[in-house]
């Protein structure tokens, strides 16, 4: 079973996957798709970049009722609108005849409600907006046969537990549930115990560890020299850069300075409107801007193919964020580089990060770099 062709998939799905050049399933797909096709609940611990989206979209599509039922059959819940938009984009690539609808905050309600009324089968939502629609009785979920909870750990971190509870309470008990999480802590275990029935466990490698495809570098650099170092890296390396900055204000500042120095840079953070974020992501993924400067929350759902270089301009607050940031590069078997900047007084934090994740970065002092 090492190709999609060996799976128990419809001829149409096999053809679609081959046409999109998806030939060999990733480990999470190989583990999660067969039991999901059989109707089993699945709990998969997998990070972003492992191919988990297709891991749930493929069985979901295969199990959709083929008859022209004009009601929602599947609910996919995710933490952010960017992630929701990307799941919908991947869904659209699969060329399904069933309509999907996005129900997420920050976008106008009317088109979302119209799409539901026109008869969407697949609902891709963030918990807040969906709960709001349910409370206002704007939609019904009593024909749902499958629930997908993606990035559950993040949804719980963001305080969506009550919203998820409210949503699940209106779903039929007789349904299939697929659950994906990067980590498995007590909160996630509780959700799993409550909503999944004897799930098949799929665990891919060490849960909290950057991919082996990413070359990890650490730069000890005074705060005042970070911008120079970033521009030096832009000069000496090829490809697109995703730069992580701690604050929204900081993200604006770094992007402005890059622009002033002539680098094509755009930015994405919580104070930008949805239209601005979408435009920034699009121009970055299409290569009009080589650099995207982002904060952690805004960057969570980014799935841009072939990001060459991730820069931790500021250290992440927690080790888990480091893994998520770095997971934006080195995806789908491609090589990537992640450079982490740490001020001299942050040396201990850096060491702590390496210890916690059992990783060893290649260390540089900024003097050596700028001189070479």
49 is a contact residue toward ligand AMP (CB under 6 A): yes
Give the integer Cα–Cα distance in Å for 239 and 370: 20
Nearer to ligand AMP, 303 or 320 (CB): 303
Residue found by looking up tokens 């450079």 in the block: 339
Q: 369 forms bridges with which residues in the sheet?
A: none
Residue 80 C-beta: closest distance to ligand AMP, Å: 13
Q: What angle do CA 197, 198, 199 make, to 5 degrees?
A: 90
Residue 27 C-beta: closest distance to ligand AMP, Å: 10
CB neighbours of residue 35 within 10 Å: 18
2 is a contact residue toward ligand AMP (CB under 6 A): no
Q: How far is residue 185 CA from its own chain's centroid?
A: 19
Nearer to ligand AMP, 211 or 312 (CB): 211
371 is a contact residue toward ligand AMP (CB under 6 A): no
Piece of the chain touching ligand AMP by CB under 6 A; list 43-51, 159-167, 197-205, 268-276:
43-51
Query: Do residues 41 and 192 make contact, with C-beta atoms less than 8 angstroms apart?
Result: no
Query: What tokens does 316 get?
Result: 């992440």
Residue found by looking up tokens 């009009």 in the block: 288
16 is a contact residue toward ligand AMP (CB under 6 A): no
26 is a contact residue toward ligand AMP (CB under 6 A): yes
313 is a contact residue toward ligand AMP (CB under 6 A): no
52 is a contact residue toward ligand AMP (CB under 6 A): yes
Task: Select the residue interacting with ligand AMP from 305, 345, 348, 372 (CB under 6 A).
Answer: 305
- Provide the 3-class DSSP secondary structure of residue 325: helix
Give the integer Cα–Cα distance in Å for 292 and 255: 8
240 is a contact residue toward ligand AMP (CB under 6 A): no
Residue 209 C-beta: closest distance to ligand AMP, Å: 15
Piece of the chain touching ligand AMP by CB under 6 A; list 22-30, 202-210, 314-322, 357-365:
22-30
Residues in the chain, total = 372
Give the integer Cα–Cα distance in Å for 73 and 340: 44
Residue 208 C-beta: closest distance to ligand AMP, Å: 16
> Which residues in 38-88 belong to E strands, given as ranges?
42-45, 74-77
45 is a contact residue toward ligand AMP (CB under 6 A): no
Give the integer Cα–Cα distance in Å for 186 and 193: 10
Task: Select the residue interacting with ligand AMP from 89, 332, 355, 368 (CB under 6 A).
Answer: 332
36 is a contact residue toward ligand AMP (CB under 6 A): no
């Amino acid at each position: 079973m090492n190709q999609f062709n060996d799976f128990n998939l419809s001829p149409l799905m096999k053809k679609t996957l081959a046409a999109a050049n998806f030939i060999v399933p990733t480990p999470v797909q190989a583990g999660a798709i067969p039991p999901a096709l059989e109707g089993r609940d699945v709990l998969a611990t997998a990070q972003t970049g492992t191919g988990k989206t297709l891991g749930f979209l493929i069985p979901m599509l295969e199990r959709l009722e083929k008859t022209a039922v004009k009601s929602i059959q599947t609910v996919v819940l995710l933490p952010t609108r960017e992630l929701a938009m990307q799941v919908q984009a991947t869904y659209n690539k699969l060329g399904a005849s069933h309509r999907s609808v996005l129900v997420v905050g920050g976008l106008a309600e009317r088109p979302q409600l119209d799409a539901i009324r026109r008869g969407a089968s697949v609902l891709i939502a963030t918990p807040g907006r969906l709960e709001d629609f349910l409370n206002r009785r704007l939609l019904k979920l009593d024909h749902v046969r499958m629930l997908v909870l993606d990035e559950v750990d993040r949804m719980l971190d963001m305080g969506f537990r009550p919203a998820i509870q409210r949503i699940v309470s209106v779903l039929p008990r007789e349904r299939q549930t697929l659950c994906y999480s990067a980590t498995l802590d007590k909160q996630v275990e509780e959700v799993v115990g409550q909503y999944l029935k004897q799930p098949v466990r799929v665990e891919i490698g060490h849960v909290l560890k950057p991919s082996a495809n990413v070359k990890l570098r650490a730069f000890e650099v005074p705060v005042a020299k970070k911008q120079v170092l970033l521009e030096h890296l832009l000069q000496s390396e090829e490809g697109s850069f995703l730069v992580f900055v701690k604050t929204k204000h900081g993200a604006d500042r770094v992007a402005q300075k890059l622009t002033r120095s002539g680098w094509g840079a755009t930015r994405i953070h919580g104070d930008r409107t949805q239209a601005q974020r979408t435009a920034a992501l699009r121009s970055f993924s299409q290569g009009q801007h080589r650099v995207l400067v982002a904060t952690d929350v805004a960057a969570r759902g980014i799935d841009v193919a072939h990001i060459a270089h991730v820069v931790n301009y500021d250290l992440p607050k927690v080790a888990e964020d480091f893994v998520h940031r770095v997971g934006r590069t080195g995806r789908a078997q491609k090589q990537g580089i992640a450079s982490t900047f740490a001020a001299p007084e942050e040396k201990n934090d850096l060491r702590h990060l390496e210890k916690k994740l059992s990783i060893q970065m290649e260390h540089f002092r900024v003097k050596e770099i700028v001189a070479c």
